[in-house]
Chains A and B, each alone.
Chain A
Amino acid sequence: MDLNELLGIAKQHVSGLSELSDPDIRLEQAEFIKKDRCWEIVVSYLVANTNKRISSSGFGALGSHAVDFQYYRIYKKLKINENKEIMGMYMFNEKG
Chain B
Amino acid sequence: MILIDTNALVVLIVGLLDTGLLNRHKRTSIYEIEDFESLLAVIGGFENLLILPNVWTETDNLLNNFTGNYKYPYIEELARMFHSTVEEYIPSIYAPAREEFFNLGLTDTLLLQRAKSCDLLITADSQLALYANAHKICVYDMVERRNLRLS
Contact = CB atoms under 8 A, between A and B. Distances in A.
Please classify the interface of chain B as helix (H, G, I), strand (E, B), loop, or mixed, using the class held by over half of its residues. helix
Nearest to B26: A31
B134 A69 contact: yes
B41 interface: no
B97 A29 contact: no
Among B99, B131, B134, the most chain A Cβ lie within 10 Å of the Cβ of: B99
Contacts, number: 57
A27 B149 CA distance: 11
A4 B150 contact: yes
Interface residues of B, number: 23
Interface in A20-69: 26-31, 44, 46, 57, 61-62, 65-67, 69
A86 to B, nearest CB: 18
Interface residues of A, number: 24
Contact of B150 (A27, A46, A71): A27
Contacts of A46: 130
B150 A95 contact: no
A61 B126 contact: no
Contact of A71 (B30, B130, B143): B130
Contacts of A73: 126-127, 130
B26 A29 contact: yes
A95 B54 CA distance: 14
Interface of A: 3-4, 7, 26-31, 44, 46, 57, 61-62, 65-67, 69-71, 73, 75, 94-95
